[in-house]
A and B are shown apart, each in its own frame.
Chain A
């Protein structure tokens, strides 16, 4: 590491350790679950803390990431995109090059190793875009777990390719027909399964959300993203980036990139939510733009809800961002002003999806396209020589059919 640059862990000394022992980040977080699940959460927290302290566990995690998933993922200078944009240098963290095509596999590997350690024989997971479902099905196949994935039926339709992949990998896929038939409903159904099967089953939650200790566990595993970016940018540019940009569904790729930089005051961070068709109830998933503090699926955080406290349905072109609540740690850092949030709508995300494909020969996931669109906006307003790192959280193969359908219906196909 370069001289003069203290590591983020050293800088964080003196600031509170988060989450606290009750699982709160300031006023956000907690364990709002039924008593049946409490023992599992307590056991999970204990096992995680033990495992994470053990060198052998961390080594196995790292080796699996290296040999099975292909880490470290490259930090790539998007020269053509930067030139076309004009302004800051745009660098892409290539999480799309992970095995199975997104950052989700990192958390899935970590939690599956943990589940094996706890003696569980079965994994369940929710999925929106299908990336987390595929990642879970993949590690289940490798480590010999029985596996069941819950997925909203609307997402089953628009992410058909991933549904087939999960089945091919030997997992069951259960379409969920309740509510808006998307990610929120899949999480509820997974929680219901877990309360029946908690003695034998680990719920492999896919994002930095839900009851404590999930936000802590997912962030800890995903922080490898930010740790690599720090090393890589120091090696290539000799300094830290000016801006970090990530899309925010529940918050795992965002917290994974941001967390190792929280103590670095010169690094600005932007979380990008899904603006959908417009910021009106039911038409978007920008929790910080249209939401308020509430309690959903185990955690106290920003939630899209109506004046009676009923949860609103959401819309986004990207299934992975189409969700009514956001991870509690992000809510906390928004409150403290450390992380800034904004949103990008469907159309702008679709435009970025095509732009990155055309300029760099990289087809991004629709989720990541939100971050690309915003990062381009930021870069344009910055000066040459400044550095924006965008988390390219996943690749877009899964979205190609859906985008082609949308563009055709808009009369833009092949343009």
Chain B
């Protein structure tokens, strides 16, 4: 049970790529720019990118990602179109990709059909679906597995230890620890609780345990990497998405900070 799949990243604890997972909204401000960002991420060798597919009603997201999703919806960013678009990008220009969006888009395309197309594209390591609960996911997990698509499990500060054990056991690719109570883009403050939970999770799984939500600076990322395997950065990067120069600068700062983590 490592992060490995047929198409997925070969990422185990202790490996070298910067333990940093940037989140981008596909099509914000347009798909050419997204391709450019993906290429840069591939060149820097981050271990994965979470590629957000815009959804009209992103209930787990704060204002920054909501606004970016609204902008991106004006482009050809349907789940199926994105798979087609990715297939046209040379693999060397893509980092390992996790598609992140709300369950309705998978449901609407059909989970099995999505998996088949994703596998065929050879570009998708896994999926991150914030509103697919552990319980409702039960009937879909075998489908994702059959096609080698990692379905990432979420743990939050409100998850009981017994429940967290079950979630990490069924998780694939990595474990997503939501570092704060709230939506994306709120400010994370590190507490002893965060450290304790991540430490527990790391004991229960051999998968990398990554912390996301509210990571707004390289300094916080570095602090988290003292006890977690990776950091996921969303709103802070999405905020700069419309200005490539700015985005690249912010991105590099995070790569640098992450590089100084334990990796």
List A residues at the B interface (Cβ < 8 Å). 22, 30-40, 178-179, 184-185, 188, 191-192, 195-199, 293-298, 300, 303, 305, 308-311
B186 at the A interface (CB under 8 A): yes
Taken together as a complex, chains A and B put the C-alpha atoms of A38 and B158 apart, in Å, by 8
Q: In the complex, are the beta carbons of B159 and A32 less than 8 A apart? A: no
**In this complex, what residue of A is CB-closest to B131?**
A32
> For the complex, would chain B's binding face be called helix, strand, loop or mixed by DSSP majority?
loop
CA distance A406 to B59 in the complex (A): 33
User: Would you call A192 and B104 a contact (CB within 8 A)?
Assistant: no
Report yes or no: A36 in contact with B156, Cβ–Cβ below 8 A: yes
B residues in contact (CB < 8 Å) with A: 55-60, 62, 66, 73, 78-80, 102-105, 107-109, 130-136, 154-160, 163, 167, 178, 181-183, 186
Contacting residue for A36 out of B73, B103, B157, CB 8 A: B157
Contact A310 B136, beta carbon cutoff 8 Å: no
Beyond A30-B136, A36-B182, 20 additional pairs, beta carbon < 8 A: A30-B133, A30-B135, A31-B133, A32-B136, A34-B131, A34-B154, A35-B130, A35-B155, A35-B178, A36-B181, A39-B160, A40-B158, A179-B57, A195-B181, A295-B104, A297-B59, A308-B80, A309-B79, A309-B109, A310-B56
Cross-chain contact B130 with A192 (CB below 8 angstroms): no
A35 touches B73 (CB 8 A): no
For the complex, what is the distance from the CA of A32 to the CA of B59, rounded to whole Å? 11
A22 to B137 alpha-carbon distance, docked (Å): 11
A22 to B158, CA, bound (A): 20
Cβ-closest chain B residue relative to A188: B59
CB–CB A294/B107 < 8 A = yes
Q: Are B104 and A303 in contact (CB under 8 A)?
A: yes
Q: Are B183 and A192 in contact (CB under 8 A)?
A: yes
Alpha-carbon gap, A298 to B133, bound state (A): 9
How far apart sit A30 and B154, CA to CA, in the bound complex (Å)? Answer: 17
CA–CA, A47 and B61, complex, Å = 29
27 A-B residue pairs with Cβ-Cβ distance under 8 Å, sorted by A, are: A30-B135, A32-B136, A33-B131, A34-B59, A34-B130, A35-B134, A35-B156, A39-B159, A39-B160, A178-B66, A179-B56, A188-B57, A192-B182, A195-B60, A195-B182, A293-B107, A294-B104, A295-B102, A296-B104, A297-B59, A300-B107, A305-B108, A308-B79, A308-B108, A309-B104, A310-B56, A310-B73
Cα of A36 to Cα of B214 in the assembled complex, Å:
14
Q: A39 to chain B: which residues have CB within 8 Å? A: 156, 158-160, 163
Taking the nearest CB of chain B, how far is it from the CB of A58, in angstroms? Answer: 28
Most chain B beta-carbon contacts within 10 A, residue among A34, A178, A197, A198:
A34
Contact between chains at B104 and A184 (CB < 8 Å): no
In angstroms, Cα B156 to Cα A38, docked, is 9
User: With the chains together, A372 CA to B104 CA distance in Å?
Assistant: 34
What separation, in Å, do the CA atoms of A40 and B133 have in the docked complex? 13
CA–CA, A303 and B105, complex, Å: 12
Give A179 to B103 CA distance when docked, in angstroms: 19
Q: How far is the CA of A225 from the CA of B158 in the complex (A)?
A: 36
- In the complex, residue of chain B having the shortest beta-carbon distance to the beta carbon of A43: B158
Question: Does the CB pair B131–A195 fall under 8 Å?
Answer: no
Give chain B nearest CB distance to A242 CB in angstroms.
38
In the assembled complex, how far is the CB of residue A103 from the closest CB belonging to chain B, in whole angstroms? Answer: 26
- A311 engages B56 (CB within 8 Å): yes
User: Which chain B residue has the least Cβ–Cβ distance from A292?
Assistant: B108
In the bound complex, how far is the Cα of B156 from the Cα of A192, in angstroms?
Answer: 15
